[in-house]
Amino acid sequence: MTTETTTGTTTGTTADLTTDVAVVGAGPAGMLLAGDLARAGVRVAVIERRTAESPLTRAFAVHARTLELLDARGLAERALASGTTVPGLMIWNHAVIGMTDLPGRFPFMLITPQYEIERLLAGRLRDSGAELLSGHEFTGFDQDGDGVDVRVRRPDGTAATLRASYLVGADGVRSAVRAAAGIPFPGRPVARSVMLADVRLTEKPKDLLSVNGVREGFVFIVPFGDGWYRIIGRDHRNGDLPDDAPVDFEELRRLTRECYGTDFGMHDPRWMSRFHSDERQAGRYRAGRVFLVGDAAHVHSPAGGQGMNTGLQDAANLSWKLAAAVRGWARPGLLETYQSERLPVGRTVLRTSGALTRLALLRSPASRGLRDLVSAGVTRVPPLRRRVALNMLSGLGIRYAAPAGAHRWTGMRAPDVPLAGGGRLHEALRGGLFVLVTDAPAPDGWDDRVVRVAPSRPGAASLLVRPDGYIAWADEHPGPGDVERALTLWCGPARAAGLRARSPQGVSGRPA
């Protein structure tokens, strides 16, 4: 394995703490990743500079694929109870991207503050046995062929070193891990001086999320379902004000009237701010034993609400692969598939969210008219509307490359099929293991890595489903040895039946 080493000196030859995986950042992606690892019996430490949860409502949309990931962790119902669901997104002059035709249990978008998702993931993290080092600041790392020395600053200002097998940067757009690894983060601004406000409205808009753009600017309205609304807007007449410029509430009301014909009785803003939207993506998601997830790997405009969703899906993709590497059964090249699978997804999200933003920024009447005409035409044709919702917003259309000759389902999201005796496939994924769905004879020896279940319909195709819910192998008529070969390829050699993963543990040792 090629390794890279950052410059600087370590705090000593002996680490103050040891763990299997160190995760920098306790945002949604970092907490989901760490919780998965701990549940798999991997020692994990989360390094977080903050000492209290953030009260800010940054992300607000949870898409169908992310709800499936939460369902596979027993969190979906509580997530749904924290917010409100909307059946689609209304764009430009009443064109609607509807989601009611999406496959699965979640044919809608959940609108809930990011901090509600963080609370669910934080509770799971605490219950899992992971170690949260709050008030600790990541300052650098050195890596070799056997592991990573992670340098941190304790709350009292003293230095410590954590020795880990792997390091994950989940520390956001200004990722210190990415900078220390020397990974480029190219890109450009998409929109500057965008206003944000959480407000009350006297007149209730339609329950759909909606965005509309006119010559003067654009406004995006998000209903949280608890009486509060997120307003996102840009007034082109103001130029590119800096992020710290105050937001004029009357200006936001006026812009909303220009976009919608009414300001809906907007009042009582609880906070307002200004930001700029960038499109950036890390040149690579891995540097030796160091990985990037979430905003540390990619950042894009909020159009379509993809940011938190993409980060959580990054984490779900990486967690089981790191667990396999730590526990010694990862097949050769498995860790390399994190980048090969997730970097193209990040690139696609940048393109689609960027396209929505640029459409909102159109100022020419002719361009806006063409945009409205094409959007209305696409969203009125059910197959096209479904394709847009499936591939551009929900995340359900994501699939990963399959080897030549593989079954056509390989790499696809596994549908939540019913199982014999009751239950669903996504419920079977809650153990964090592979799920083998088959009524064909299956060998013993993988009980620590695989849950075996039977389909509710006799004779249905056999599936081996990865812990992140994607199909690793499928066969409609598996012959003798086919199931065993699939298990060996994806889950390593057989072990004694009944062998289970070791109990979750945190780090060994404590800062002095």
Q: What distances in angstroms separate CA 92 from CA 6, 203, 354, 378, 385, one per listed residue?
A: 48, 20, 16, 12, 15
Residues 6+ apart with CB under 8 A from 361: 191, 213, 218, 234, 236
Helix (H, G, I), strand (E, B), or coil: what is residue 66?
A: helix
The answer on pLDDT for 205 being more than 90 is no
Q: For residue 232, which of 244, 245, 242, 247 has the smallest C-alpha distance?
A: 247
Q: For residue 478, which of 456, 455, 460, 462 has the smallest C-alpha distance?
A: 462
Weakest-pLDDT range from 20-24, 77-81, 441-445? 441-445
Residues in the chain: 512
The rounded percent of the chain whose pLDDT value lies above 70 is: 92
The rounded percent of the chain whose pLDDT value lies above 90 is: 63
Helix (H, G, I), strand (E, B), or coil: what is residue 87?
A: coil
Distance CA 179, CA 393 (A): 30
| CATH class assigned to 1-56+113-184+283-355 | alpha beta
DSSP summary character for residue 418: B
362-369 LR contacts (CB < 8 Å, sep 24+): 362/213, 363/215, 363/236, 365/215, 368/92, 368/213, 368/214, 368/215
Question: Confidence class of residue 93 from pLDDT cuts 50, 70 and 90?
Answer: low
What are the tens digits of pLDDT across the range 334-373? 999 999 999 999 999 998 888 887 887 778 888 888 888 8
Question: Confidence class of residue 380 from pLDDT cuts 50, 70 and 90?
Answer: confident
Distance CA 379, CA 227 (A): 29
pLDDT confidence of residue 510: 35
Distance CA 186, CA 247 (A): 29
Higher pLDDT residue, 246 or 239?
246
Tell me the mean pLDDT in the region 446-459: 93
- Residue 145, Cβ density class (10 Å: 0-12 exposed, 13-18 middle, ≥19 buried): exposed
The answer on pLDDT for 497 being more than 50 is no
Q: Which CATH number is 187-279 given?
A: 3.30.70.2450
Distance CA 33, CA 132 (A): 13
User: What pairing do the DSSP bridges indicate for beta strands 159-164 and 17-18?
Assistant: parallel
What are the extents of the domains in the chain? 1-56+113-184+283-355, 187-279, 405-512
pLDDT confidence of residue 8: 30
The answer on pLDDT for 267 being more than 60 is yes
Q: For residue 434, which of 320, 312, 317 has the smallest C-alpha distance?
A: 320
pLDDT confidence of residue 5: 33
Residues 6+ apart with CB under 8 A from 206: 90
pLDDT confidence of residue 64: 96
Distance CA 357, CA 304 (A): 9
Rounded to a whole number of angstroms, the distance between the first and last alpha carbons of the chain is 33
What are the tens digits of pLDDT across the range 37-86? 999 999 999 999 998 766 555 678 999 999 999 999 999 999 999 999 98
What are the tens digits of pLDDT across the range 136-181? 999 999 999 999 999 999 999 999 999 999 999 999 999 999 999 9
Which fold would CATH assign to domain 405-512?
A: Glutaredoxin (3.40.30)
The answer on pLDDT for 501 being more than 70 is no
Residues 6+ apart with CB under 8 A from 485: none
Mean pLDDT for all residues in the chain: 88
pLDDT confidence of residue 135: 95
Distance CA 102, CA 396 (A): 8
Higher pLDDT residue, 301 or 279?
279
Higher pLDDT residue, 275 or 299?
299
The answer on pLDDT for 7 being more than 60 is no
